[in-house]
Amino acid sequence: MTFFIGELDELMLGKRFSAFGQETLDELIGKLRARGNSNATINRKMAALSKLLRKAQKMGDIHSLPEFRRQKERSGRIRFLSRDEEDRLFAAIARRNADAGRLSVFLVDTGCRLGEAIGLNWNDVIGGKASFWITKSARARSVPLTGRAQEAVSIPKDGHKGPFAMLKQAQYRTIWNEAKAEIGLSQDDQVVPHVLRHTCASRLVQGGIDLRRVQMWLGHQTLQMTMRYAHLATSDLDPCVDVLERCKGAGCCKN
């Protein structure tokens, strides 16, 4: 919620208003979609905005509200980067901005959200771990860092509040889109910064990490949110084939 309020203020250019009409809402949704937000993400943000506006209306600060229509959410395959795509994309990002290159590595190896990484303070990345205090789920979590993620945060402070505080989300997204176009992925609307979170989760599941631990790593409120990666744990089903193969010849499937 905190991150979205900041994002909302940025998108609305700090405007003050006594009415929030349908045109304003449609414009806001369009800007979120242009930033790569999925319909599911937009729905969650609009639910938060609706609550804020209703409260403002009760307090007399706003006298009219728009109709919040739920965006159609798609279910299906989750896009994640291959190792080759990651290498090419990260190289293109780093050529444009070294700090953005470091941030990309950190995002894919921690699975954290862009706002969580940029909001880190120096005291949040000590002892080989990163602690995220202000999160979407309002639940703090800590994750151990890979070797290259530790390298990504091992830089001189130079007056910055944290290892990625010199970057803004909009700035990073601009660099991302330029790099994405350079390597020929400009037409893939799922290759947005959030794909790094999907990539991290997918690699954990494919590597045999159980879904409960993946849930804790990502900071999901419910296991259901993590279950969308469950199909990647194909090795969990391999023993089923052995059972069925034995049943074939031994006649064990007879009643």
Query: pLDDT value at position 123?
Result: 95
Cα 254 to Cα 61: distance, rounded to the nearest angstrom: 72
The third-level CATH classification (topology) of the domain covering 83-233 is hpI Integrase; Chain A (1.10.443)
- Across the chain, mean pLDDT equals 85
Q: What is the mean pLDDT of residues 200-229?
A: 88
Q: What is the pLDDT of residue 1?
A: 47
Q: Kindly report, residue by residue over 120-157, the tens digit of the pLDDT.
A: 999 999 999 999 987 776 778 999 999 999 999 999 99
- What pLDDT, in 10s, does the model give residues 38-52? 777 888 888 888 888
Res 17: pLDDT: 65
- Is a pLDDT exceeding 70 seen at residue 15? no
Model confidence pLDDT, tens digit, residues 59-116: 887 777 788 887 776 555 688 999 999 999 999 999 999 999 999 999 999 999 999 9
Query: 255 falls in which pLDDT band (50, 70, 90)?
Result: very low
Mean pLDDT of 188-193: 92
Q: Which residue has the higher pLDDT, 237 or 87?
A: 87
- pLDDT classification of 28: cutoffs 50, 70, 90: confident
131 three-state secondary structure: strand
Average pLDDT estimate for 224-233: 83
pLDDT-above-70 percentage for the chain: 85
Residue corresponding to tokens 């120096």: 122
Domains of the chain, by residue range, sit at 2-58, 83-233
CA 122 to CA 46: how far, in whole Å?
Answer: 32
Q: DSSP secondary-structure letter at 249?
A: H
d(CA 30, CA 73): 16
**What does the block give as tokens for 83?**
């190792």
